[in-house]
Structure 1
Amino acid sequence: MAQVRQEVGASFSLREQVEYMGATALKQIGYYKTHPKQAEIDGYKKEKGPANGEVIANRMYDDNYRGAQYKLGNTSPGDGWKYLGRGLKQLTGKNNYQDLTNMYSTIWLDEKVDFVKNPELIEQPKYAVRSAIRFWLKYKLYDIADKGTTGAQVDAITKVINKATDSYSQRRTHFAQAIKIFS
């Protein structure tokens, strides 16, 4: 739950809200790391309202500007926007959408869904939850979780979900809150 809270935010949005990313946040991701002036132009500005999310997603998630270990399979124009973060875990990138499609029917035998062709389905609660379950199972995160309830386990799971994130401490805080709620 701590990971979900960090991924979907306080508003519990099942679609990544790139329209509200400011220049500072954008400069940490993909294209904008090497084009910081463009981040200033494209980023959210309170006085102007939401930014152009499609432009932002297509730039920040374009594999041409991502290191080898961070490639998402976004190689065609428009892939960044089409495969932006969705679901409880904010599944991102064409490769991850394909992986979900491939694994989905092995878990839910009665249903075959193509998330590459229908990425917006992950914004529906049923598929939002199932995409997170699939991730949990694929990476055997239960093995880490079963080791205890310390910050070390939260950090280990965070590292699997988003190694490069700067939100490790926030996720530990969310975990402490979840423990209080579920205890």
Structure 2
Amino acid sequence: MNIDFDMLRHIMPQAKDSDIQHYLPAIQTRLATFDINTPLRVAHFIAQIAHESGQFKYKVENLNYSARALRLVFGKYFQTDDIAEQYARNPEKIANVVYANRMGNGDIGSGDGWKYRGRGLIQLTGKENYRTCGNAIGLPLVEQPDGLANDPNAAVMTACYFWHSRHLNQYADQDDLKSITKRINGGYHGLEERAKFLNRAKQYLEIQGADV
């Protein structure tokens, strides 16, 4: 099916033209490889990456937290105001703490938390996930993690791989936005915005049915 600039502009009205153009060729060529090949599947996929990437604005995880935000979001790691103040507004130090010793990453001193922080349209995080995904799509993501931020092909293929590995086409076929969102987000964060993107996609693709 045809995915064009006007479609992405309609779904993501706040996206920059340059960002749409950055991703468009990869979206046009890569989705079908992962069987994202019907209007409903495409609508759900685009709706999710629109939300996850801030309408194509974000390519790398934003870890520029204030001390207060660190206490709220990562209280497990920053248990006092004094500790939080030591890390506030230092994304690299924050990443190396919160992502240490999990997802295949080494300890704080390894720097893996920062090196394998979230990147891509559906943010890939952690060395083991970079390795598994890279092996599946044939890209050296462990050796070249910044490729996910700089190469639109890598970003789109990684999002498609995530989608396929979680069997999300079957939920798209059922028009089940909540199940897709939970499998991507772990909960229902941003569900209302995801629904708006999905409804615009359905409108553009002339998919029949009530709004989400």
Q: Same fold (TM over 0.5)?
A: yes
**Percent identity (aligned):** 35
How many residue pairs were aligned?
156
Residues 3 and 23 of structure 1: is their aligned pair in 2 closer, same or farther, counting only changes over 3 Å?
Answer: farther
Tell me, in whole angstroms, the C-alpha distance in 1 between the residues paired with 2:86 and 2:169: 42
Tell me, in whole angstroms, the C-alpha distance in 1 between the residues paired with 2:171 and 2:180: 7
Aligned counterpart in structure 2 of residue 122 of structure 1, from 143, 148, 156: 148
Corresponding residue for residue 99 of structure 2: 61
State the Cα distance separating 1:17 from its structure 2 match. 2.0
Which structure 1 segments of 5+ residues have no match? 44-50, 64-70, 106-112
Q: Deviations over 1:29-49 (max 9, x none)?
A: 55x434242335433xxxxxx
State the Cα distance separating 1:163 from its structure 2 match. 0.5
Preserved CA contact (<8 Å) 1:88 1:129 = yes
Preserved CA contact (<8 Å) 1:26 1:33 = no
State the Cα distance separating 1:165 from its structure 2 match. 6.4
Corresponding residue for residue 67 of structure 1: none
Q: Which runs of 4+ in 1 moved over 4 A?
A: none
Are 1:73 and 2:104 an aligned pair?
A: yes
Q: Deviations over 1:105-126 (max 9, x none)?
A: 3xxxxxxx22111111111111
Corresponding residue for residue 138 of structure 1: 165
Partner amino acid, structure 2, of 1:155: K
Partner amino acid, structure 1, of 2:90: N
Partner amino acid, structure 1, of 2:158: S
Preserved CA contact (<8 Å) 2:56 2:121 = no
Preserved CA contact (<8 Å) 1:136 1:142 = yes
Partner amino acid, structure 2, of 1:9: G
Residues 13 and 143 of structure 1: is their aligned pair in 2 closer, same or farther, counting only changes over 3 Å?
Answer: same
2:76 counterpart SS class: helix
Q: With CA pairs under 8 Å and 6+ residues apart, which has the higher RCO, 1 or 2?
A: 2
Aligned counterpart in structure 2 of residue 157 of structure 1, from 180, 186, 201: 180
Preserved CA contact (<8 Å) 1:155 1:172 = no
Q: Give the TM-score normalised by the residue count of structure 2.
A: 0.64
Tell me, in whole angstroms, the C-alpha distance in 1 between the residues paired with 2:181 and 2:49: 11
Q: Give the TM-score normalised by the residue count of structure 1.
A: 0.72
RMSD value over aligned CA atoms? 2.4
Are 1:12 and 2:57 an aligned pair?
A: yes
Tell me, in whole angstroms, the C-alpha distance in 2 between the residues paired with 1:173 and 1:33: 33
Q: Deviations over 1:19-65 (max 9, x none)?
A: 2x3445434555x434242335433xxxxxxx2211121122223xx
Preserved CA contact (<8 Å) 1:18 1:53 = yes
Tell me, in whole angstroms, the C-alpha distance in 2 between the residues paired with 1:171 and 1:24: 27
Residues 140 and 39 of structure 1: is their aligned pair in 2 closer, same or farther, counting only changes over 3 Å?
Answer: same
